Amino acid sequence: MPSRPLRLLASLLSPLALVACHAAAQQPAPPAATGRPTLVVFITIDQFGSDYLDRYGGNLTGGIARLRDGGATWLRGRHDHAISETAPGHATTMSGRFPVHTGISSNSQGVNTADAPLLGAPDVGASPFRFRGTTLFDWMAAADPRTRALSVSRKDRGAILPIGRAKTDVYWYASNGIFTTSRYYRDTLPTWVREFNARQLPQGFAGRTWAPLLPADRYAEPDSNPLESSGRDYVFPHVLPDDPAQVVGAIRDTPFMDSLTLAFALAGVRRLELGALPGRTDLLAVSLSSTDAVGHKYGPDSKEIHDQILRVDRYLGAFLDSLVALRGPGRLLVALTADHGVSPFPEWRSPYYPNAHAQRVDPRNAWRLAYAAMRAAGVDTAAVDADDGFRVVDREAFRRANVDPDRIARIWVDALRPLNGVMRAALLSELAAADTVHDAIARRWLHMLPLDGPVRAVVTPEPFGYWWNVTYATHGLPHDSDTQVPVILWGPGIAPGRRAGEARVVDMAPTLAALLGVRPLEALDGRVLPVQP
C-alpha cells in the first residue's frame, strides 16, 4: 500500500513529476526526532504578497496553510529595501543583509555573465560574481564542515543568490527544458541530474490544459479582463502547446513548473542524502517561480493567480509530507517568504488594492534635458543609463570634462519632480539627510544603494504607479504592495501563532542561525526574531 505522502503526490503533483518523487515517498519514515533538526528548508515563493494568505485563506489546505497555521507567522513581513525585484530579494533571504551590503541592487545587476557558461544549455551564463559576503550556508558549514546544501529554482538568480558565493549544488531550469548549472559550480552535471533530465518530464506536458482546480463558485475574480496576458488567451482554460519543443518554454507560465521544481528538489534531497545524517544539519533552498510568472502575465487580481496559489499550496503540502516521510517528524526547520510582492495594472481599479489614483510615469523628457546638459558640457551621453535611477557607467567621461555627475543628476531630478505620478525624486545625498526612522522611502533607498556608488539619483512613483512603457503586471517600487511579504518560521523550538509586529526578511537568517546555534561570520542588518510568545 503506498504511503500517505505518495498518495498525496499522486493526486496533487503532476503524474510526470511524481516519477522523480516515487522512490523517496516509498521509504518508511524514520522515528520521531529528539535532537536538533537535520534539514533546514528555506522556501521562497516569488511574487507572493502576504495579503494572499488571508485573501485565499479559506481555500488553502496544503503546505502554505500548514506553515501559516503551525508556525510563527508575521503577515507584516517586508523587504526593507527600495527596488523590490527578484535578485535583491533572493540575495537578502539567507544573508541577513540589505542589498547595499550584498552588492545585488537589481535584476540587471544580478547574476548573468558570459564568464560562467551553462552546462548543456544555450542561455546566458550565471554566477554569484557580484554577491558580497556570506550566507546561512557559510555559517552552517563553518560550524560543521560536513554540512551539505542544495539550491533549486526555475530562475538562475533564484537558485544562486540565496546560497551566495559557495560552490555547492545549485541548479535552475534552462530554456531547453533541463535543469542545469554553470561552470562556476562544476564542469559536468552529476549523474542524478542527468538521470532526471533524461526523463524529459517538461515535454510530457505538451497539450496539457490548465483549468481551475476548484468549482467556479470558489473564485471571486472575474475571468474577463483584457489587460491580462496582453489581451491574448486571458480566459480559462489555458492549453499548452502540442509541440514538445515549445512546451518546455510555455510551462514556465503555469503552475506545473512549480511541481517540476519540487520534484527535482526532492530527487536531489534523496541522492545527496540531505538531512539523513544524525548530528549534521543540511540546507535545502527552493525558489518557486510560477507565482511570479502567472502574476506578471495575468495580474494579482486575476482568477489565474488565485488558482496558482491554490496549486502551489497543495504542491507544497505533498512536498513537505514527502520530506517528513524521508527524514522523520521533528527533523525539519522550515522558513517561507517571498522575494517581493506586486501591484495591479494601473488601469484596473482593484477590489483588493487602493489603486484608484494609480497612473503611469514617463521620464523621457527628464532624460532629454539631462542628455542636452551633458552634450553642452562635453560629456558623452553614453556615460549614464537609466538602470535603477540616474546611473553613471563611465565616471572617466565626467572627469575628463571636469563635470560633477551630481550636477547633471540634479537637472534630471528637477525635471521629474513636477510630473504627475511622481512621489519623490532626489539625489542619494539628499536622502542620506532624511529621518530614516520615520521616512520609509528614504530608508529603503539607503538600504539599496551605496552613497558612493554609480547611482547618483533616484525617482519614486506614487504608490501603485507604473512606468509608461510596462505592458505587464509588475513590481519594483519601495511601497508596501511591492515590499510586503510573509515571514513564516516552522519547526522545533518555534511556537505557532500570528505575530502582531513587523518582521523583515533580513531577520530570517539570523533567527535560523540562532535556532541552529551557529554564529554568523559577519555583521548583519537583521536581528533575531522572537519565536516564542
Report pLDDT digits (tens) over 258-271. Answer: 999 999 999 999 99
Arithmetic mean of pLDDT, 449-476 = 97
Domain spanning 4-27+38-345+481-516: CATH 3.50.30.30: no
- 502 has a pLDDT exceeding 50: yes
Confidence of residue 29 (pLDDT cuts 50, 70, 90): very low
CATH dotted code for 360-471: 3.30.1360.150
Cell digits of residue 195: 538521470
pLDDT at residue 1, as a whole number: 37
Helices (H), 333-473: 364-377, 395-400, 405-416, 428-431, 440-446
Q: What is the mean pLDDT of residues 237-244?
A: 97
Res 25: pLDDT: 38
Q: How many CA atoms lie within 13 A of 63 on its CB side?
A: 30
Nearest residue to 159 (alpha-carbon basis) of 250, 93, 106: 93
Of 34-48, 112-126, 331-345, 510-524, the one with minimum mean pLDDT is 34-48
Single-letter residue type at 280 = R
Region 119-123: mean pLDDT is 98
Mean pLDDT of the chain: 93
Q: What is the pTM assigned to this prediction?
A: 0.94
pLDDT at residue 16, as a whole number: 37
In this prediction, residues 413-433 reach a mean pLDDT of 97
Specify which residues 332 forms β-bridges with: 39
In degrees and rounded to multiples of 5, residue 239 shows phi and psi of -105, 125
DSSP E strands in 174-322: the ranges are 179-180, 209-210, 238-239, 282-288
The answer to whether residue 50 scores a pLDDT higher than 90 is: yes
Using a pLDDT cut of 90, give the percent of the chain over it. Answer: 91
Question: Are the C-beta atoms of 77 and 371 separated by less than 8 Å?
Answer: no
pLDDT exceeds cutoff 80 at 31: no
Task: Identify the band that residue 64 occupies on the pLDDT scale cut at 50, 70 and 90.
Answer: very high
Q: Are 423 and 441 within 8 A, CB to CB?
A: yes
pLDDT at position 529 is 97
**CA–CA separation, 40 and 492 (whole Å):** 11
Domain map (residue ranges) of the chain: 4-27+38-345+481-516, 360-471
pLDDT tens by residue, 274-321: 999 999 999 999 999 999 999 999 999 999 999 999 999 999 999 999
pLDDT digits (tens, 9 = 90+) for 272-287: 999 999 999 999 999 9
Query: Residue 36's pLDDT is what?
Result: 86
Torsion of CA 106, 107, 108, 112, to 10 degrees: 130
Q: What percent of the chain has pLDDT over 70?
A: 93
DSSP, residue by residue, 71-98: SEEETTEE--SS---HHHHHHHHTT-S-
Contacts of 197 (CB under 8 A, 6+ apart): 120, 178, 179, 189
Q: What integer pLDDT is reported at residue 8 of this predicted model?
A: 37
Does 12 have pLDDT greater than 70?
A: no
Mean pLDDT along residues 443-456 = 97
Question: Does residue 3 carry a pLDDT above 90?
Answer: no
Confidence of residue 533 (pLDDT cuts 50, 70, 90): confident
